[in-house]
Amino acid sequence: MLHYAIVFFVIALVAALFGFGGIAASAVGIGKILFIVFIILAVASMLFGLIRKG
C-alpha cells in the first residue's frame, strides 16, 4: 500500500513538472488517501499484534 502511495506521488511530481495540473492534483489526492489507509492499517496491525502477544 505504501508503495502505491509513493508511486502516485512520483506520478504527481512528473505531471506537475510537465504542466499537467489536473492530473497532478488528482494523483496527489489518491496518494494521500492511500497513505492514510496505510497508516491506519499499520497502527491497527501493531495494536492487534500487541494484544495477541499479551
Q: Which domain covers residue 26, as residue numbers? A: 2-53
The pLDDT of residue 27: 93
The pLDDT of residue 25: 93
The pLDDT of residue 2: 87
**Considering its fold, how many domains does the chain have in total?**
1
The pLDDT of residue 34: 93
CA separation for the pair 9, 16 (Å, rounded): 10
Per-residue pLDDT band at 53 (split at 50, 70, 90): confident
Q: Tell me the pLDDT tens digit for each residue of 5-45.
A: 999 999 999 999 999 999 999 999 999 999 999 999 999 99
Supply the Cα-derived Rg of the chain in whole angstroms: 15
CA separation for the pair 27, 21 (Å, rounded): 10
